[in-house]
Amino acid sequence: MGIASAREVRLSASSRASTRMVRDSLAAPRSARGFTLIEVMITVAIVSILAAVALPSYTDYVTRSKIVEATSGLSDMRVRLEQYFLDLRQFPGACVAAAAGPAPAGQIYLPATSKYFTVTCALTATTYTVTATGTASGGMSGFVYTVDQANNRRTTGLPSGWSGTGNACWVSRKNGDC
């Protein structure tokens, strides 16, 4: 074998190797390069189960956080009405919408900001009842809380699915807990 033959053997060996690489690349891959359908379906099922458990808990949490607006507004009104009574020995004649400056004579301002509840009051010279009613636009329709001059806190209305209507407290959980 001469030099030319050795060169031909090398070339033919290298061309065989490149032919083998081309053939191997066209054949089925030895290891998977993606996810199988069953793996994707299992992942989707797990995420769906987690969402089914987490979403109701999250919505209940958001609702409970909105109830705080009602209870704090009622507590604020109670304190201001009691202060008014201590100063003048009677409750004011009316509750009016909040405005700048002192309230007009014989009147008291309602809480300034109410996004989820509407606060109203019923007044006489010696008694009062302040009511916070949930608004439909805030997703709180059906919720009604009251407080009176004896600090009797009542839940007088709740949406369906909630228990505790008539409780002598402000219900803040679906099971009727205060």
User: What are the pLDDT digits (tens) for 48-94?
Assistant: 999 999 988 898 999 999 999 999 999 999 999 999 999 999 999 99
Is 0.75 surpassed by the pTM of this model? no
Query: Would you tell me how many other CB atoms lie within 10 Å of the CB of residue 131?
Result: 21
In a domain, 7, yes or no: no
pLDDT attached to residue 17: 55
Please report the sign of the dihedral spanned by the C-alpha atoms of residue 8, residue 10, residue 11, residue 17: positive
Q: Which residues of the chain have pLDDT under 70?
A: 1-32
In a domain, 69, yes or no: yes
pLDDT attached to residue 111: 87
Spell out where 75-143 has E strands: 94-96, 107-109, 117-123, 128-134
In a domain, 127, yes or no: yes
**Domain interval for residue 90:** 37-157
Burial-class residue 108 by CB neighbours within 10 Å (0-12, 13-18, 19+): buried
At 67, list the tokens: 């109830």
Query: Domain count of the chain?
Result: 1
